[in-house]
Structures are given as structure tokens and as C-alpha cells.
Amino acid sequence: MTEFKGKVVGGAVYAHKSAVPALGFSFVEKSEVASSIIEKGTHWNVIKFDQKDPNKLSLLLYEDFTKAEFPALLSSFQVDLANKKYQSRIHSKSNPPILHRKELLLDPLDPKKEEYEALTCSLEELGAFKDISKYGTKIPWEQNLKRLCIKVSKHKVSQAVEEDTEEDNQSVVRHRTAISRSSLSTPAKLLFTSGLASEDNSFLDYGCGKGDDVKFLNELGIDATGWDPYFKPENKNLIASDIVNLGFVINVIESPSERIEVLQKAYDLAKKCLAVSVMLPSQNDTIAALPFADGQITSTRTFQKYYQQVEIEELLSTALKANPVAAAPGVFFIFKDEEVEQDYLLKRQLGIIRDYDPNLSLVKINEQKEKTKEATRVANLLAKHTLAFARKPELEELPRYFQQQLESSGISFRKAFNAASSLFSENDLRHAVKVKKEQLLLFLSMYFFSGRPKYKSFNRSLQKDIRLHFGSMTAAQDQAKELLYSLGNEKFIYEDSHLATEEGLGDLRDGKFTFHTNNTNNLSLRLRGVLAIAERMAGKLDDVDVVRIHIETKKVTYLSLDNFKNSPLPRILKRSIVDFREHSVKTITHDEGGKVKTLYLKSKLMAANEANYEIQKKFDETLEANTAFDFSGEGPKFEEFAKELLDKKIIPPAYK
């Protein structure tokens, strides 16, 4: 009898729950420990053992093996046996990962194994498993079977005569989705401001459309080329590059299998990093569109698929066998070079990315400035960067634009640093050291949260910082892990939220801590850690005024408001909800169809010395004293609230 080894894929072993005993006692023991760690009563039917890390495994819930020929993955639990922690995930319902060759997961004595093997053999003979890596999710697999005229029912295969459908006869004109730009697109700007698109890296815009991003990047001194199947189809431009941008391409391709093919081609061309961006449901402003495949087709015969954040992340993970990093809603970076990824994550955590200004990188040859003004500007910039590093930086560690300005000023780095060091005090430096140490701890804790393998070594700059602030890598890692584990402790989060409320940084009520984004950097390290996890899932969210941490339900809500500064009852235009338990990111707009959502009791999110604070506070106290509304959470419906104000003749104040 053949020894049972399960289904081996890469560095993992998969087995059905019923077949775990056939793998051996150690596997049974691990599965029992994992089951005791996750929530009681949780269902699963497949287990995945990580052969590279014996302390990591996943419990997976697929559809019923006996009913589904190719069971879809419904949910999963990634379990850390050593630390008795787990992360759960609900998978896409529209296009979930599916399981092929399920017989390999069953005990050799299972009575159903022979039937499932026969199904697999039939499909192999018909060529259904050719290029199987393209068909790891439901829609591409079903389209593959349709293309081959294969029907599968009750685990039996039959071939049908190909039929033309109305959908097949509709043709999609992809190039009509290309637009002209007056500035860098969102993904190109993110790549530039992060330093990934730089003079040091070659750049390929795969699917460049009319080529505006390439033109702007070339003007910024970056060696950028573009390729597009319609506008610029020459193969000489389709070359391997350090950075490859696949911007808003796969969402206009109507064939799921072709999307995967394009993703894999672009990834193969990337030496250091691939950027992938798609359209989100909140960006759907199409009025006249009809359902088509898994998206919609417009009156101009263009196709558009709108992805949920978690859906595109799952697609990238499955298709590329890599760990995508959310850079912004709908934008992910997939790194091949660990040091480049490490550098990007650290810069983002430290806020260095936001200090880069594209205009500062353009050197105007004819621009002449007085030496004194240039020297002052260089000194001020260097002082700012020194405090950001919390130590004297080396010249090569500083942004390229600063090095260019220093060179054009004719001032030596030593003289510039001497001038810069006189611009900050010892207290400034002590505060900078405290901030930097917290930032490093936060970076390292997020590094562990990501679940990626440990890097063999950190870059030299990071090693220098860790030695200076922690003494050793081991000490830094221990503190970072302690911080990460504390983020799941509701008691600690409540304590920090209560303290922040007492300090006037926000408002804690009904299990939710709400604050204005101006106060983010003044929050405790733990609260910032919760936000860092949300950012890992959603990317950097723009135009956010107010953030709400739902302590018990494990969510973070980001609110975009209309005129927060000057309105006593600012309207909520949009909210983005990051759900840690469901591993989902949802965006809801509130500025359509006459619907009104309002932020109440605004004074609780204002500083006491802020203009109009006293006026707002008096108005809010009037509302609490003279109405019976519950203002916790989202508060009352605006229509009921407005009627109450009219009935009681309460007039919102005018600011000075």
C-alpha cells in the first residue's frame, strides 16, 4: 500500500481533516493544538502544514468535498502554534480560490478517492489542467472548462457542442479606457514619492496607455519606458526593469485567465518591485453599464471590473505566489528584492515618504539663488532630516533631492551639518530619539505581523539605528513582539483610549475611540499600532479627517468630512471601514441621493486652544442637555435630528 503524504504544493502539505491520522501522530497532535487555539465551534475540513516553519499551519474550510467537484475556499485560519495566536480570513464569494485534484488530500482507503481520481484523469486527457496556475480561482476555471466545451456534473465529465452566446458576440474595446493625464497617476506618484521610481532604478510602465506617466517621469530624470498593446506595441520596449507599473490594466481585461497571464508577465519583468493598481467599487461612477462576465460593459464597449481591496490582494497572492503590500486603496506593491521592501516599509512607517516633493527633484539649470538663502535652506532641510534620523545621517542616506541641492549650493556636508546642528536643542534631539525608537518598534512589530519569513539581514542604515537605540537585534525584536501582542488586548486599548480622552486627543464612548487625524502622532504607541495594522490592510487613505477605533468589534473607520474646520455639523462624505476579523476593507459614500450623514459633538475632537472651540462646546452641551438623542456611534438619523432642532428652535452657531 502506498504511503500517504497528502497533497504537497511548494513548501506545504495539505490533507483533509479525515486523513490527518494517516500522516502520523505528530500531525494529529499539531492539528489538535491548532483546533484548541482558534475559537471553539469553528468549522474546518482541510489542514495545511508549513514544512518550512513547524510552528505555522492553517485550518481551511472548503465546500463539501462530496458535493462540489472543485470545492471553493470559504474561510481560513492561520495559526501560530508557538505563540498560540491566529488570524482569520473570509475569502471572496464571487471568485474564491478552488481546489483541484482533491483526491490527493484523502486517505488512500477513502471510498470516494477512486471516483475523484477518475474525474482528474478525464480532465487531464481533455487538457483542462494545462497552465493550471492560471485557474486557481472559480471564474477563470469555469471559463477554461467552457472554452474546452467541458461540462462537469456529479463528478462526471461530458463534452458539449460550443454555443455562441450574446455575451460572446459582444466585443470589448480596451484601448478606449486610456485617458490623457495632466499629472502623475496615483500608482506612479506613489512609486515616485516612495523613492522606488528614482534615478537609480529603471522603470517600465506595462500598459502605459497614451504614455503620460512615462513622459512626466522622464521629465523628473527617471529612466522610464512604456509598452502598450495598442498605443505602443513595439516589443523593444517590453524589457525587464527594476520597477514595473501595471496601472489600471487588469481591471479592463474581461477574461480572468488573461488577467492572471498579464500579471505573471509583468511580475516576470520586474527585478525589484511590481506595482498593481485597480479600480475600487467606490470609484464606480458609470451611469449606463450592463453586467458582463464578472464586471460590466459600458455603452462605449469598454469593460470594467471593480475589485474589493481584499479581493485584489487575494488575486495577487494566488497568481504570483507572493505577499503584496497595500500602498493605497486599490494599489499594491509586490517586492522581489527584500532589502528594497524593507527600506520602503521603514520609510513609510517613519513618514519619510511624505517628505519627498516631486518638484524638489527637478533641478532648474538656469536658476540662480543668493548663497546665503541657499545655505539657510540647506541647513534647515538637514536639521529636519537629522531629527527624523535621530542621529547624524550619512550623506548617502539622505534623499536625492537634498544631495542635489547640497551639491548646487557649493557647501560641504560638514559645514552644512554644523549649521544644521545649531538649529535644534538638546530637548529637540531627546524627543526625536524617543519618537524614532517608537517608530522602529512599530516598524518591527508590523514586520512580524506581516507573516513573511524573516530576512537574513537588515540594510546597513537600519542595523545602525537598531544598535544605537536597542543595543542588539534580539532586544529590539523582543520589544517589538511584545508590542504586537499587546495590540490584541482590549484592556490595554481601552486604557490608552481613556488616557488619550483625558488629554483631549479624542473621545472614548460606547467602546469606540474617535479622534481627529491631527492628533494621530500624539496617540500612544499601541493606538498607533492598531492604525498601522489597518494601514497594512488598506494602504494609505487620503482625505481623511476623523478616525474611529472600534475596540471590541476590531474595526477601524476612516471618515472624510465636508468642511470640518468651519462647520459645527460637518457632513460625512465617505467612510472606509477596515475589519480585522473579516480581513476586509469597505468604502461607503454618503454624498449621493440626498442622503445626509453628520458628525455630532465635534468639540470632543477639537483642541481647547482651537479657534471656535468654545462656540462649538457650548452648542454641543446644548444638544446633550436639550435632546434625548444617543450620540454614541453614528448618532441619530439626520432627518430626525434636524426636525428636533427645528421644534426646539436650536440654531447651529456661526463661527467667527
> Concatenated DSSP letters for 190-240?
HHHHTTSSSTTS-EEEET-TT-HHHHHHHHTT--EEEEBTTTB--GGG---
Is 107 inside a domain boundary?
yes
- Mean pLDDT value of segment 355-380: 54
For the segment 379-397, what is each residue's pLDDT rounded down to a tens digit?
Answer: 888 888 888 888 888 888 8
Give the whole-angstrom CA distance, residue 582 versus residue 585.
9
The winner for highest mean pLDDT among 14-18, 401-405, 422-426 is: 14-18
Residues 323 and 451 sit within 8 Å (Cβ to Cβ):
yes
CB 14 within 8 A of CB 103: no
- Residue indicated by cell numbers 530624470: 221
> 301, 295 in Cβ contact below 8 A?
no
Based on the fold, state whether residues 142 and 203 are members of the same structural domain. Answer: no
pTM over 0.75: no
Task: Give the per-residue pLDDT at 359.
Answer: 44
By mean pLDDT, which of 62-66, 80-84, 303-307, 541-545 is the weakest?
Answer: 541-545
What pLDDT does 45 receive? 94
Q: Which residue has the higher pLDDT, 302 or 621?
A: 621
Please tell me the distance from the alpha carbon of residue 36 to that of residue 42, in angstroms, as a whole number: 10
Contact, 51 vs 11, CB < 8 A? yes
Give residue 400's pLDDT: 80
Count of C-beta atoms within a 10 Å radius of residue 590: 18
445 domain residue, yes or no: no
Q: How far is CA 365 from the centre of its chain?
A: 39
CA 240, 242, 244 angle in degrees (round to 5)?
Answer: 75
Q: Which three cell numbers stand for residue 607?
A: 483642541
Phi, psi angle pair for 271, to nearest 5°: -85, -35
In a domain, 623, yes or no: yes
- One domain for residues 82 and 219: no
- Written as nine digits, the cell of 496 is 490608552
Q: Is the pLDDT higher at 401 or at 487?
A: 487
Q: What is the mean pLDDT of residues 598-610?
A: 89
145 CB neighbour count, 10 Å cutoff:
19
pLDDT exceeds 80 at position 176? no
Residues 152 and 192 in one domain: no
Decide if 415 is inside a domain.
no
For the chain, give the percent of residues with pLDDT over 70.
91
- In the chain, the number of structural domains is 3
Helix/strand/coil for 301: coil
Residue 393 lies in a domain: no
Which residues touch 451 (CB under 8 Å, ≥6 apart)?
78, 87, 323
Shared domain check, 147 and 42: yes
Q: Are residues 530 and 640 in the same domain?
A: yes
| Same domain for 580 and 497 | yes
Compute φ and ψ for 179, nearest 5 degrees: -125, 160
Burial class (CB in 10 A: 0-12, 13-18, 19+), 375: middle
Domain C-terminal end among 135, 159, 183: 159
Res. 355: pLDDT tops 50:
no
Boundary-marking domain end, from 126, 159, 192: 159
Q: Give CA separation, 617 vs 270, 528, 560, 642, 656, in Å.
A: 55, 27, 22, 19, 14
What CA–CA distances, in Å, run from 29 to 21, 24, 51, 81, 592?
9, 9, 15, 11, 55
Question: Is the pLDDT confidence value at 166 over 60?
Answer: no
Cell of 597: 450623514
How many Å apart are CA 388 and CA 488, to the nearest integer? 29
pLDDT band per the 50, 70, 90 thresholds, residue 638: confident
Residues 292-351: tens digit of each pLDDT:
788 888 767 788 898 988 889 999 999 999 989 999 889 999 999 988 888 788 767 655
Same domain, 559 and 652: yes
Residues 568-588, mean pLDDT to the nearest whole number: 88
pLDDT band of residue 243 (cuts 50, 70, 90) is very high
Residue 161 or 97, more confident: 97
The answer as to whether 495 is a domain residue is yes
134 and 178 housed in the same domain: no
Mean pLDDT of 165-181: 63
Same domain, 78 and 214: no
Strand pairing class (85-90; 507-509)? unpaired
Mapping DSSP to helix (H, G, I), strand (E, B) and coil, where does residue 524 land?
coil
Residue 297 φ then ψ, to 5°: -120, 140
Distance CA 206, CA 217 (A): 14
Domain of 309, CATH number, reads 3.40.50.150
| H-assigned helices in 390-523 | 400-409, 413-421, 426-449, 460-470, 473-486, 490-502
pLDDT band at 133 (very low <50, low <70, confident <90, very high): confident
User: Does some domain include residue 555?
Assistant: yes
Residue at 451: amino acid letter? G
Residue 234: its pLDDT value, please?
Answer: 87
Alpha carbon distances (Å) from 283 to 227, 245, 546, 592: 25, 20, 21, 13
Other CB atoms closer than 10 Å to residue 41's CB: what's the count?
A: 5
Mean pLDDT calculated for residue range 464-492: 88
Q: Over the stretch 563-574, which tens digit does the pLDDT of each residue have?
A: 888 899 999 988
Interatomic CA distance for residues 409 and 403, integer angstroms:
10
Question: 617 lies in a domain?
Answer: yes
Cα dihedral sign for 276, 280, 286, 289?
positive
Same domain for 511 and 643: yes
Residue 499 confidence (pLDDT): 95
- C-alpha span between 117 and 122 (Å, rounded): 9
- Cell for 159? 463534452
Strand boundaries in 286-422, DSSP class E: 289-292, 295-298, 303-304, 325-328, 331-335
Question: What is the predicted pLDDT for the residue at 460?
Answer: 80
- CA pair distance 645, 627, nearest whole angstrom: 9
Contact in structure between 310 and 296 (CB atoms under 8 Å): no
Residue 523 lies in domain: 487-656
Do 153 and 237 lie in one domain? The reply is: no
Q: Please indicate, yes or no, whether residues 241 and 324 belong to a single structural domain of this protein.
A: yes
pLDDT band, residue 161 (cuts 50/70/90): low
Is the pLDDT reported for residue 169 higher than 60? no
CB 80 within 8 A of CB 72: no
Question: If you average pLDDT over every residue of the chain, what do you get?
Answer: 85
Contact residues for 587 (Cβ-Cβ < 8 A; gap 6+)? 280, 281, 282, 329, 574, 575, 576, 577
Final residue belonging to a domain, choices 113, 130, 159? 159
Give the C-alpha separation, 229 to 456, whole Å.
Answer: 40
